[in-house]
Amino acid sequence: MTDLSQEATELLQQLIRFDTVNPPGDERGAQEVLAALLEDAGFEVALLGRTEQRPNLVARLRGEADGPTLCLLSHVDTVLATPQDWSRDPWSGDLHEGFVWGRGALDMKSQTAAEVAAALSLAREGWRPARGDLLVVVVVDEETGGGEGARWLCDNHPDLVRCDLLLNEGAGSVIPFDGGRVYGVCVAEKGVFRFRLTTDGVAGHASIPRIGDNALLKVAPLLERMGARQPTFDLTDGPRAMLEELGFPSDGDGASALEALRERDPILAMLVEPMLGVTLAPTRIRASEKINVLPACAEIEVDCRVPPGMDEEEVLPRITEVLGPPDQEGYRLEFFERVVGNASPVESQLMDAIRDWIGDQDPEATIVPTILPGFTDSRTFRDAFPDCVAYGFFPHRHMTLYEVAPLIHAADERIDARDVGFAAEFFRDVTRRLLG
C-alpha cells in the first residue's frame, strides 16, 4: 500500500467513526478534523453553515496565475444504519480482510477521504497550481436535499465555491461488459416531477359494496398501466453517447439499442433503461380513513423522474401516454414537486483528463458517459454556475458496479481499500494535469 493509499484509507476509517446519520447530521466533528488537516497543509479554510453543528468546509489552494478553478466535492452525512442488521459495527471503520466497513464507506466518505488525501499530498510537497485554484468542498445535508449543505452554500456564499470544473459522486465503479471493462462518468442528473393521481367516488357503508362508488377501485387500472409499460424514451446526449460507446448506436429514441443491449447483458440493460426517458414509479396510496367506509376519494403518489432539461409541458404528454387523458380516464393529476434536471457537456477537458488517466491505469478499459436516475449536489452547482462542467467520477477498479450498488444505503456497506487508494491517485493526478 502506498503512503497516499494508506493515508486515504486511515482517513476514511476516522470519518466513518463519526456518526453523521442525517437527520440530525451533526457533522461538525468530522468537518473540524478535515479542516485542521487542510489548514496545516497550507489551504485557506472556512467552516460555514446555517447552524453551528452543521458547517460546510471550503478549502482553497491558490494558484500562481489565472486559470480554471477545480472543485473536489463530497458530503459527509449518511443515511441511517441499523446495527443489528450488520455483520460489523456500522461506525467501527474496521479494516477487515482488505475492506473498510461502515456506514459511508461507499456513500460517500470514501470519496471525501480520497479527495482530501490527494489534496494534502500535493500541498505538503509544496505543489501549487500553476494556473487557477484547487477547491476542496465538503458539504453537509446531501442525503435530505442540501438545504443546509450545497444549496445553502451556493445561495449564501457563491463566490467562495464558484468553480469551472467539478468532480463529485455519481459513477466510476468498473462495469464488466462483453469480456471487457467499462468505467462510467456521470454527466447529468434526471429531474424530479412527482405527482398525485386522484379518483373520486361516493362514500357508503362497506358492508354493502354497491351502495356507494368505491374510488379505490378506480385507481386499479392506473396502477396496471404503470406496471405494464413506461413512457416512450427521450434520449439525451449522455445516454446516446453511452449506447454508442457500448456498441449500440441509436438513431431514434434508443428503444432498439436497449433491446440489443438487453440480449447481450440484461442486468446492465436494466440499469441503463431509466437513463433513456421518463420513469413512473407509484409508491404511495391513500383511500378511506376507516375500514368500514367505502372511500369517496383515492390518491396515488408517483415518483416521476425525467431526463435533464425536460419541463412540465414536456413531461405531461409522457404521463398521459401511459395513463390516458385525465378527462377520459376519470382521474385528476397534480404535480407537487418539480425540479428540472441538468447536464454537463459530454466532451470537455475534464472528460479528456479522465479518459487519459484511465487509459494509463487500465489500458484495456473503456470510458462511457452516464446519467444518474437520482440526483447529487452536482445539480446544485450546475444551477448556480451554468458554465461549470460537473461530473460524477470515483473510480473503483477492484469492486464492480454489481458489487457496489447493492451495498449503498444497505447493511454491511464496505469498500475495497485498494479502491480508496486507486481513487486518491486519480484525484491527485487529474488535479496536476488540469491545474499544472
pLDDT of amino acid 357? 98
Q: What is the pTM of this model?
A: 0.94
pLDDT of amino acid 155? 98
Within a domain: 269: yes
Judge if 249 and 272 occupy the same domain.
yes
Judge if 332 and 376 occupy the same domain.
no
Judge if 387 and 315 occupy the same domain.
no
Within a domain: 183: no
| pLDDT tens figures, 23-57 | 999 999 999 999 999 999 999 999 999 999 999 99
pLDDT of amino acid 81? 97
Within a domain: 359: no
Within a domain: 73: yes
pLDDT of amino acid 369? 97
Within a domain: 180: no
Judge if 55 and 131 occupy the same domain.
yes
Within a domain: 425: yes
Within a domain: 344: no
| pLDDT tens figures, 295-354 | 999 999 999 999 999 999 999 999 999 999 999 999 999 999 999 999 999 999 999 999
The Cα 199–Cα 190 span in angstroms is 28
Judge if 160 and 200 occupy the same domain.
no
Judge if 196 and 166 occupy the same domain.
no
Domain that holds residue 223: 188-339
Judge if 123 and 198 occupy the same domain.
no
Judge if 143 and 277 occupy the same domain.
no
Judge if 291 and 392 occupy the same domain.
no
Q: What is the average pLDDT score of the chain?
A: 97
